[in-house]
Amino acid sequence: MDEVPGIATSVVWADPGNTILFSRTLNGLTNIWKYGLADKKLEQVTLGTGPDTWPMPDPGGKGLYFVNGKSSGFLTAYNTRTKQFADVAAENATQPAISPDGKKVMYITVPARDRNELWVADIDGGNKTKIATGESLATGFWSPDSSRLSFIAEKPGSPDKPYIARADGSGLQPLVWSGGTVQALQFSPDQKTVYLNSLEKSVNAATLSKESAEGSPPEKLSDTCGFAFAVAPGGKYLLTLLGGGAKVGIYQLSLADLKCTALVAGVVTFGVVYSKDDKSFTYAVPSQHDVPIYRQGWQDGKPIGKPQVVLTLPFAFPLVSGGNAYDYTRDLSTVVYARAGGHADLYLQSQK
């Protein structure tokens, strides 16, 4: 099929008459457009604020069906001690990442289809600060002292750009990275090194790399131990997740010899959080009606005992929604999670 000039979108429908129908975002508005492969003519089909998606011509020739609507949702904080809820962001928001001191949370909002915003707020939603705006953004992790954060700017056709900034958005610093798709960044305990999760086409696997926080050529560590979700106390190990296949579970990567060792085999989760005493880590397991959080003892690279449920949240939420959909404080006192929602209608635009 011919390439549609200047359009970075996926084709939704193509008819035998060599006309392609698709959603296109222009100047922040998403409408249905059509492109003729024969005459190379690009023409807007629907008007209005949109977003208009999923075009399909009526088989009887009456016109064009399409969906109009958008997703919405809230980012909500739940206090596990008082059982109280508070909305952190009353908009389409996800990817919460709570600072280690439990006082701040960064997250991504989606005010338009072609625009993301990175925000930092107090854990209860107060004192909001916009850190960055881009076509597509993703949160990373906080520094151990909660003074700095990391995030990734993504743009189709260009290498991902990972950044480090202070909690108020100042001191923005790009990293040297120019490899595959970056998933997240972790800080070493002394904040001199960052560990990067990425998807590398050359190995078709989750890859772990490191580089200097001040900027240096990345050094590959592993492509067999999954993605890192925590740096162990002392900085000698990365706690990683393998999310699929026969080896699904929680692992650790020794930074001394790059040996990958299973800690909790067979578990499916999307996050690992160290407890405040640094003697164990916790993780959530998805469920239809509630979310149990397990604790696994750990010390000096060795698991201690068996995982035990330490908290069960009396409601359910997805672990993933445009990235991670939840996070919680190290002391388990607060959980921040995305409550997805939205509204859509089916329309028929009559044939003129």
User: How does pLDDT run across 197-212, given as a tens digit for each residue?
Assistant: 988 766 667 899 999 9
Residue 27 in 3-state DSSP? coil
24 pairs with which residues across the strands? Answer: 31
Mean of pLDDT values over 219-227 = 93
**Backbone dihedral angles phi then psi of residue 200, each to the nearest 5 degrees:** -105, 125
Residues 275, 184 within the same domain? yes
The answer to the question of residue 334 being in a domain is yes
Residues 42, 134 within the same domain? no
Residues 45, 76 within the same domain? no
DSSP 28: T
CATH number at residue 329: 2.120.10.30
pLDDT at 4 over 60: no
pLDDT of residue 47: 82
pLDDT of residue 239: 96
> Residues 16-36: pLDDT tens digits?
557 788 878 776 677 888 888
Residues 95, 26 within the same domain? no
pLDDT at 282 over 90: yes
pLDDT at 191 over 70: yes
Residues 109, 218 within the same domain? yes
The answer to the question of residue 5 being in a domain is no
Residues 48, 175 within the same domain? no
Q: How far is CA 182 from CA 175, 194, 227, 237, in A?
A: 11, 12, 11, 20
Angle ∠(194,196,201) on CA atoms, nearest 5:
155
The answer to the question of residue 264 being in a domain is yes
The answer to the question of residue 236 being in a domain is yes
23 or 96, which is more confident: 96
pLDDT at 72 over 80: no
Burial of 81 (0-12, 13-18, 19+ CB in 10 A): exposed
pLDDT at 258 over 90: yes
The answer to the question of residue 96 being in a domain is yes
The answer to the question of residue 255 being in a domain is yes
Residues 118, 227 within the same domain? yes
The answer to the question of residue 348 being in a domain is no
What single-letter amino acid sits at 326?
Y
> How does the average pLDDT of the chain come out, rounded?
86
Residues 203, 228 within the same domain? yes
Residues 184, 266 within the same domain? yes
- What is the edge-to-edge ordering of all strands in the sheet holding 148-154? 136-142, 148-154, 161-166, 173-174
pLDDT at 145 over 50: yes
pLDDT of residue 76: 94
Band (8; pLDDT cuts 50, 70, 90): very low
Terminal CA-CA length for the chain: 28
The answer to the question of residue 62 being in a domain is no
97 pairs with which residues across the strands? Answer: 106
Determine how many CB atoms are found less than 10 A away from the CB of residue 28: 13
Q: How far is CA 186 from CA 12, 58, 138, 281, in A?
A: 37, 51, 13, 16
- Please state, for a pLDDT cut of 90, what percent of the chain lies above it: 55
pLDDT of residue 2: 47
Query: Looking at the 3D structure of the chain, how many domains does it have?
Result: 2
Residue 277 in 3-state DSSP? coil
Residues 100, 28 within the same domain? no
Range of the domain at 242: 70-341
pLDDT at 1 over 50: no
Residues 52, 112 within the same domain? no
Residues 298, 212 within the same domain? yes
347 or 133, which is more confident: 133
Dihedral sign (CA 208, 211, 217, 221): negative
Is this model's pTM higher than 0.75 or not? yes
